[in-house]
Chain A
Amino acid sequence: MAGQGMSASLLQLENVTIRFGGLTAVSELDLQIGAGELVGLIGPNGAGKTTVFNLITGVYQPTAGKISFASAPTAKLKAHHLARRGIARTFQNIRLFSSLTVFDNVRAAAQLHCERRVINSLWRGRAFREGEQEIARQVMELLEIFQLGKFRDESAKSLPYGDQRRLEIVRALATKPKLLLLDEPAAGMNPTEKVELARLIRFIKDKFQISILLVEHDMQLVMEICERIVVLDYGIKIAEGNPDEVRKNPKVIAAYLGD
């Protein structure tokens, strides 16, 4: 077998297709992401980018094709199983827990790695209290890294838009993922915030040693930080390569101009 020698990819999509009634939203897509890679996924509106995220995270099951993560097939696994295996995401339309505080939004995600269950929360013994303190410490550490610590007791939905986007990233990171999917993290951000975001995404990749798949409409941002870019149009992969190759690709130019 190929095994160890090959640079084993973390995420692998083979021939993945999904149809919604008559509409083929994603068609025979091949996609690989290696450990520690930062890959961009771009394409015009309705190209199928968010659908690819939903396929990877188990929100949708593919009509045909195969997806595997960390060398194991993901067929039939639900979103919460895949989160446990190490896939985390943010949402194009921010989905924070609106009745929880900033701190608790992240704490809810941190529970993934605490095996304390109902009974422990009732008995509240020493192990439970120490566990809760440890989680609180980790949550605060994450919030501080992203300069959100000062908002810890604010309601999540009261934050400015850009901060809500960053809080969603922090929440995703609190699950300690191997792969992070970011769906248009720069949407609604001003130019200064976008520059800061680019720095942040690189920082996350290095500091947490994870792979990132980035969907983003801001071309400058994508070209600047991605090592490899995949272009979708009407659910079909029309190009793949480094930023320069993609920028010059006539199919890509046509897809964007024709849009």
Chain B
Amino acid sequence: MNSGAKRFLIAAILVAAVVSAFSAQFNRYYLGVVIDIGINVILAVSLNLINGHTGQFSLGHAGFMAVGAYAAAKISIVFSDKIPAQLAPVLFVAALLSGGLLAALSGLAVGVPTLRLRGDYLAIVTLGFGEIIRVVLQNMESVGAASGLKNIPHDTNLFWAWAFAAITVFVVTSIVNSTYGRGFIAVHDDEIAASSIGVNPVRYKVTAFVFGAFFAGIAGGLYAHHKQFLSPTGFDFLKSIDIVMMVILGGMGRTAGVIVAAVLLTLLPEFLRGFAEYRMILYSLLIIVLMILRPQGLFNFKNPWRAKA
């Protein structure tokens, strides 16, 4: 199991590098979609650590993504013409990591006070957090305020998007599948029983939340250097719902399912371009169908984690 996870990581990064080397031959539109898929996999798998494995309900993933996106973009814009060209990738990765860390810090600031409270509060507080971030960005002149942040260097390519997606999958599955990580699922299943065996539920919840926010921040940075333009409206409540949909559709706590859902829900709007306005109706229908097929309730999805130790 252990070396298997590491092998997966190395193999996935190699594949990303090889495919990326040929990316000049691809249709630019398809290339863009494939990068979107990588970014959405990061968002969905990291939210799954919070909402799926640990059983919280966060609605703030777009907010953490925004923090990472704006921080990374601003760093790139400020420093890109002050460094030699061959250092550009280093600056890019440093910008991504800074964005991730800032998102993780905001995750800590939001998580520590709220995760002590009962589950439902988290949904409300994270919802509020996402909206606050959006409003703040809308009024911050240094990042373009409502007209958006332009001229972000085009640093994200297929390699970076997929390599970070692979890292996210590796980190989340490695944490959850360790003896330490059984604690996340223990907290998800029964907090009282979890604390009776020495697991501190608050600590586990905060850990999941901070890791989730970190990767949402990384995804934001990748997104910024992919689209080269950021607008606060792109990180609204509906964006968070998009990510939540991926986790629900994939089956809470099942990483493979969530990856498939992230791919599907990236492709679906592309196929349905003409019906863009109806996307939310489609999502609602999806939820209703799921509800009928899973009468035990969507947010109470329980499935045996069969770890081959």
Contacts and interface: CB of A to CB of B under 8 A. Distances in A.
Nearest to B5: A124
Interface in B1-53: 2-3, 5-6
Interface stretch (A28-36, A102-110, A192-200, A223-231): A102-110
Contacts of A101: 304-307
Interface in B118-151: none
A116 B197 contact: no
A114 B197 CA distance: 13
B199 A96 contact: no
Contact of A80 (B3, B198, B306, B307): B198
Q: What interface size band does chain A fall in? A: 35 or more
B174 interface: yes
Nearest to B177: A121
Nearest to B193: A95
A111 B182 CA distance: 8
Interface stretch (B78-86, B183-191, B273-281): B183-191
Contacts of A129: 2
B186 A97 contact: yes
A132 B181 CA distance: 12
A99 B179 contact: no
A27 to B, nearest CB: 24
Interface string B156-188: 000000000000000100110111111101101
Contact of B302 (A98, A103, A108, A172): A98
Given A124-B6, A129-B2, A104 B196 contact: no
A17 interface: no
Interface stretch (A66-74, A83-91, A205-213, A249-257): A83-91
A109 B195 contact: no
Nearest to B197: A109
A79 B192 contact: yes
A91 B309 CA distance: 27
A176 to B, nearest CB: 10
Contact of B197 (A99, A108, A122): A108
Interface string B191-223: 011111111110000010001000000000000
A124 B7 CA distance: 12
Contact of A118 (B207, B305, B307, B309): B207
A107 B188 CA distance: 16
B190 A95 contact: yes
Contacts of B185: 97, 99-100, 104, 108
A254 B6 CA distance: 67
B192 A114 contact: no
Contacts of B107: none
A155 B198 contact: no
A130 to B, nearest CB: 10
B195 A78 contact: yes
Nearest to A136: B309
A57 interface: yes
A114 B179 contact: yes
Contact of A111 (B171, B195, B199, B305): B199
Nearest to B301: A99
B174 A122 contact: yes
A83 B177 CA distance: 23
A109 B198 contact: yes
A109 to B, nearest CB: 4
Contacts of A155: 304
Contacts of B302: 98-99
A153 interface: yes
A135 B199 CA distance: 16
Contacts of B181: 121
A101 B307 CA distance: 8
A189 to B, nearest CB: 20
Contact of B178 (A89, A97, A98, A121): A121
Contacts of B192: 59, 79, 91, 95
B195 A83 contact: yes
B180 A121 contact: yes
A234 interface: no
Contacts of B190: 95-98
B253 interface: yes
Contacts of B5: 124
Contact of B198 (A84, A95, A117, A131): A84
B146 to A, nearest CB: 39
Given A83-B196, A84-B198, A109-B198, A99 B180 contact: no
B240 to A, nearest CB: 25
Contacts of A42: none
Interface string A219-251: 000000000000000000000000000000000
Interface of B: 2-3, 5-6, 171, 174-175, 177-183, 185-186, 188-190, 192-201, 207, 211, 253, 302-307, 309
A-B pairs, top 5 by smallest CB distance, nearest first, are: A121-B178, A83-B198, A108-B182, A112-B198, A95-B193
5 contacts: A100-B186, A108-B179, A112-B197, A116-B180, A121-B174
Given A118-B207, A122-B175, 12 more contacts: A79-B195, A95-B190, A96-B190, A97-B194, A99-B188, A100-B304, A108-B182, A108-B197, A114-B179, A121-B177, A124-B5, A175-B197
